[in-house]
Amino acid sequence: MAVAQQHKGNDSTKGLIAVFTGNGKGKTTAALGLAFRALGHNHRVSVIQFIKGSWKYGELEAARIFKPLLDFHVMGRGFTWKSDDLEKDKVAAREAWAFAVHTIRENRHELVILDELTYLSHYKIIEEEEILAVLRDKPPAMHIAITGRYASEALINLADLVTEMREIKHPYQSGVKAQRGMEF
> Domain with 76 in it: what CATH number?
3.40.50.300
Is residue 179 assigned to a domain? no
User: Is residue 83's pLDDT more than 90?
Assistant: no
Catalytic residue among 37, 88, 105, 108: 37
Q: Active site includes 116?
A: yes
Is residue 101 assigned to a domain? yes
Is residue 144 assigned to a domain? yes
| Residue that wins the pLDDT comparison between 174 and 80 | 174
User: Is residue 91's pLDDT more than 60?
Assistant: yes
Predicted structure pTM score: 0.88
Catalytic residue among 52, 116, 118, 147: 116
User: Is residue 184's pLDDT more than 80?
Assistant: no
Q: Active site includes 13?
A: no
Is residue 2 assigned to a domain? no
- Whole-number pLDDT of residue 61: 83
Catalytic residue among 28, 80, 103, 147: 28
Domain ranges, residue 39: 29-167
Is residue 14 assigned to a domain? no
- Whole-number pLDDT of residue 170: 84
Catalytic residue among 14, 29, 94, 128: 29
- Whole-number pLDDT of residue 11: 52
E-state strands within 4-153: 17-21, 45-49, 70-74, 111-115, 143-147
Catalytic residue among 55, 79, 95, 107: 79
Instruction: Point out which residues pair with 112 in neighbouring strands.
Output: 46, 144
How many whole angstroms separate alpha carbon 136 and alpha carbon 141? Answer: 12
Is residue 108 assigned to a domain? yes
- Whole-number pLDDT of residue 89: 83
Is residue 100 assigned to a domain? yes
Q: Active site includes 37?
A: yes
Q: pLDDT tens for residues 106-125?
A: 999 999 999 999 999 999 99
User: How many domains is the chain partitioned into structurally?
Assistant: 1
Q: pLDDT tens for residues 125-183?
A: 999 999 999 999 999 999 999 999 999 999 999 999 999 999 999 887 888 888 877 77
Distant-in-sequence contacts of 26-30, Cβ < 8 A, 24+ apart: 26/165, 27/147, 27/148, 27/149, 27/165, 28/59, 28/115, 28/116, 28/147, 30/145, 30/147, 30/163, 30/165
User: Is residue 80's pLDDT more than 90?
Assistant: no
Q: pLDDT tens for residues 15-62?
A: 999 999 999 999 999 999 999 999 999 999 999 999 876 666 778 888
Catalytic residue among 27, 52, 77, 90: 27
Catalytic residue among 56, 64, 81, 153: 81
Q: Active site includes 29?
A: yes
Is residue 97 assigned to a domain? yes
